[in-house]
Amino acid sequence: MPDSPIKVLIIDDSALVRKILTLMMRKDPDIEVVGAAPDPIIAREKIKELNPDVLTLDVEMPRMDGLTFLRNLMRLRPMPVVMVSSLTERGADVTLEALSLGVIDFITKPKGDLGNQLTELGEELCAKVKTAARAKVRGAMPAASLSADAVLPPPRRRHLNTTDSLIAIGASTGGTEAIKEVLLGMPPDAPGIVIAQHIPPGFSRAFAERMDKLTRLRVKEAEDGDVVLQGHAFVAPGDHHLLVERSGGRYICRINDGPPVNRHRPSVDVMFRSIADCAGPRAVAAILTGMGADGAKGLLELREAGAHTVAQDEATSVVWGMPGEAVKIGAAAEVLPLGRIANALLAAPAGKTGAGKHPGAGAQAIAGSGR
Spatial neighbors of 252 by CB under 8 A, at least 6 apart, are 225, 226, 227, 228, 244, 245, 246
- Rounded to 5, what percent of the chain is helix, strand, coil? 40, 20, 40
State the Cα angle at 102 between 174 and 180, rounded to 5°. 50
Active-site residue identified among 12, 39, 58, 198: 198
C-alpha to C-alpha distance for 222 and 183, rounded to whole angstroms: 16
Residues 331 and 359: beta-carbon distance below 8 Å: yes
Tell me the C-alpha distance between 191 and 169, whole Å: 12
Active-site hit among 294, 308, 313, 317:
294
100 annotated active-site: no
Neighbouring C-beta atoms of residue 89, cutoff 10 Å: 12
User: Could you tell me if 223 and 113 are in contact, meaning their C-beta atoms sit under 8 angstroms apart?
Assistant: no
Q: Is 198 a catalytic residue?
A: yes
294 catalytically annotated: yes
Q: Which residues have C-beta within 8 Å of that of residue 141, sequence separation ≥ 6?
A: 127, 262, 263, 291, 292, 293, 321
The active-site residue, picked from 85, 86, 165, 172, is 172
Which residue numbers are catalytic?
172, 198, 294
